[in-house]
Amino acid sequence: MNAEPLVVERLLNAPIGKVWEAITDKDKMKEWYFDMPEFRPEVGCQVRMVSGPPKGKSYMHLFVVTEVVPGSKITYSWAYEGYEGMSYVTFELFAEGGKTKIVLTHRGLETFPANNPDLAKHNFAAGWDQIINTSLPAYVEKEA
């Protein structure tokens, strides 16, 4: 079982404040990430959201914000109702001049059921690659 976390990094052509808003403001998040009406960047905030692979099964996602460092870091747990496993997603931001380095780390993927191909690490890798390298830059860099 591979316990190595999944890490995706990208240098965004946008100031850190704009990227922070994109990853923590529920109205901005729904434009490039997920629609999570209950989301607040506050420790203890709980979110339930239904989503799944295209043309596949839908899953009830369960998120709980576990850490917030305003302007630079947010972590939340990521689990699925009715399935074993608990993982943690962390977004970290680093100012680099007028740009922002984002580092997404997803830990605990090995805790999900190995017999469910939808929850395989390579699917998360593909999803995070799309989100961090395509969707987020398209959103935050459109007026940079």
Cβ of 30: how many Cβ atoms within 10 Å?
Answer: 13
Q: What is the CA radius of gyration of the chain?
A: 15
pLDDT digits (tens, 9 = 90+) for 70-122: 999 999 999 999 999 999 999 999 999 999 999 999 999 999 999 999 899 99
- For the chain, how many structural domains are there in total? 1
> If you average pLDDT over every residue of the chain, what do you get?
94
Helix residue ranges per DSSP H, the chain: 16-24, 26-32, 121-130, 136-140
| pLDDT value of position 1 | 54
CA atoms within 13 A on the CB side of 67: 10
Examine the pLDDT at 133 and tell me if it is beyond 90: yes
User: Looking at the domain assignment, is residue 77 inside a domain?
Assistant: yes
Domain limits for position 129: 6-140
pLDDT-derived band of residue 47, with 50, 70 and 90 as boundaries? very high
> In sequence order, what are the beta bridge partners of 10?
102
In this structure, is residue 1 part of a structural domain?
no
CATH code of the domain containing 21: 3.30.530.20
Q: Which residues, 6 or more positions from 138, have their beta carbon under 8 angstroms from its beta carbon? A: 32
Q: Where are the beta strands (DSSP E) in 6-114?
A: 6-12, 46-51, 59-69, 73-80, 87-96, 99-107
pLDDT higher than threshold 70 for residue 141? yes
